[in-house]
Amino acid sequence: MSVVPLFNLAPDLTVSRLCFGTMTFGEQNSLSQSFHLLDKAFNSGINFFDSAEMYPVPQRQDTQGRSEEYLGRWIRERKLPRDRIVLATKVTGPSGQMTWIRDGPKCLDACNIAEAIDNSLLRLQTDYIDLYQIHWPDRYVPMFGETEYDPIRQFESIGIEEQLEAIGRAVKAGKIRYVGLSNETPYGVMKFLHRTELSPSYPRIISLQNAYSLLSRTFDSGLAECCHHERVYLLAYSPLAMGILSGKYLLSDGAPSDARFNLFKGRYREGESRYNLSSTKVKEATKAYLAVAAKYGIHPVSLAIAFVLNHPIVASAVFGATKPWQLQQILDSCKLKLSPQVIDEIDKIHFMFPNPCP
C-alpha cells in the first residue's frame, strides 16, 4: 500500500517525495539485502531511486559500480515495467583519487561524459536514465564541508558548454530524459541555466541535489533564491546528516558497531570531516533537536525528514537505509506535518547553532 506522496518534477516526470539513495548497495548491503530493501520501498510507493557511477561508498576499485548493478538487476529480475521506475544516477567529477574511474577522473570533457553514460546504462541494464546528474562541478568550489572560497585553488576546467553539449547528445539519442546538478553553488546553477537560454538546443537543468537537513541549511543562503526563480527543484540528500539526527551516535555506547561512522572509521574522510561527531556544535545542536522531538512526541527521524519535506523547493528527500526497520522509520515520516510551533523551535535552534554540518 502506497504511503508516499508524489511530486511533479517535470511535466512528464512524477517522482515520490522520498528518493531511495543506493550508495550502500554493494558495500554495506549484499545483493539479497538490497533487493529486500528495494522491494519494501517500491511496494510502499517509492518510485524514485538514486545512484552514481562511483558508488558504493567508501569508494574503492573492487566495488565501483555495484550500486548501479544491483539496482539494474532488481528491475530486471522483478520484471518491473520501466516506466514505473524513475532512475537517477551521476557522472563522477574530477577527483584524481579514483584512478580506476577514467584515470581519476581527470575532467568532465565530452569523452568522459559519453563513456560514463554508456557504462551506467550497461550496469543499470536499461535503455535510458530518467535523471542524469553531474556529481560535482568540473571546477574548484568549496564543498563537502568546506565553506570559504579560495580563488587561488581554481584549476583549469572544462567549460559548461562542452558538458552540456555532451549531455545534450545523449538526450537527443534517447539515453537521458532530464538533467540535474549536484553539490553546486549559486554561480554554477545560474551559469548552466544561462547557457541553456543562449543555446536552446542544450538540455535545461531541472534539479539540484545538494545536502539539506536540520544541521545543514546552507541551501537557503543564495541557492534557494536561484532555484525558486528559475524553477529548479532541490533533491535534498543526507536529510538525517549521515544518521546523526537519529540520535544513535549520542547513545552511551556510541551507536551500534555497524553504524556507518563506526564501520568505516578512518576510511570515509569526506563524511567524517563534514559530519564531525567530535564537534561540540554538532552534538549540542543534535541534542537540541532531539529534545524538540521528545517534547512533541515525534520520532527524531520523522522530525528530520518532515522538516526537509516542509521546504517549498524540495521535490524529494534522498535518503539511505541499510536495514528494513530504518526504511520503515523513513516511510513513517511521510505521515507527519510539522506545526508552526515546532518549526519555530527548530528555527531558534538553527539561530543558536547555524549549519554545523555544511
Give the CATH number of the domain where residue 49 resides: 3.20.20.100
Residue 356 lies in a domain: no
pLDDT score, position 236: 98
Q: How far is the C-alpha of 271 from the C-alpha of 255, rounded, in Å?
A: 16
pLDDT score, position 250: 92
Name the pTM for this structure.
0.97
Residue 94 lies in a domain: yes
Residue 154 lies in a domain: yes
Residue 68 lies in a domain: yes
Q: How many CB atoms lie within 10 A of CB 111?
A: 11
Residue 96 lies in a domain: yes
Residue 257 lies in a domain: no
pLDDT score, position 252: 79
Total domains present in the chain: 1
Residue 314 lies in a domain: yes
- 306 neighbors 338 (Cβ within 8 angstroms): yes
Residue 108 lies in domain: 6-241+303-337
Reported for 185-190, long-range contacts at CB under 8 A and 24+ positions apart, including other chains, are 185/137, 185/141, 185/222, 185/223, 186/222, 186/223, 186/225, 186/226, 188/137, 188/139, 188/141, 189/223, 189/226, 189/227, 189/230, 189/232, 190/226, 190/230
Residue 295 lies in a domain: no
User: Which whole-number Å values give the CA distances from 331 to 43, 59, 253, 320, 338, in the listed order?
Assistant: 11, 28, 27, 12, 16
- 333 neighbors 214 (Cβ within 8 angstroms): no
Q: How far is the C-alpha of 139 from the C-alpha of 157, rounded, in Å?
A: 5
pLDDT score, position 226: 98
pLDDT score, position 268: 79
User: Which whole-number Å values give the CA distances from 90 to 78, 167, 315, 326, 341, in the listed order?
Assistant: 24, 12, 18, 25, 38
Q: What is the pLDDT along the chain (358 residues), one digit of tens a residue?
A: 568 999 999 999 999 999 999 999 999 999 999 999 999 999 999 999 999 999 999 999 999 999 999 999 999 999 999 999 999 999 999 998 999 999 999 999 999 999 999 999 999 999 999 999 999 999 999 988 888 999 999 888 999 999 999 999 999 999 999 999 999 999 999 999 999 999 999 999 999 999 999 999 999 999 999 999 999 999 999 999 999 999 999 987 778 888 888 888 888 777 888 999 889 999 999 999 999 999 999 999 999 999 999 999 999 999 999 999 999 999 999 989 999 999 999 999 999 999 999 9
pLDDT score, position 203: 97
Q: How far is the C-alpha of 195 from the C-alpha of 204, rounded, in Å?
A: 9
List residues with catalytic annotation. Answer: 55
pLDDT score, position 115: 98
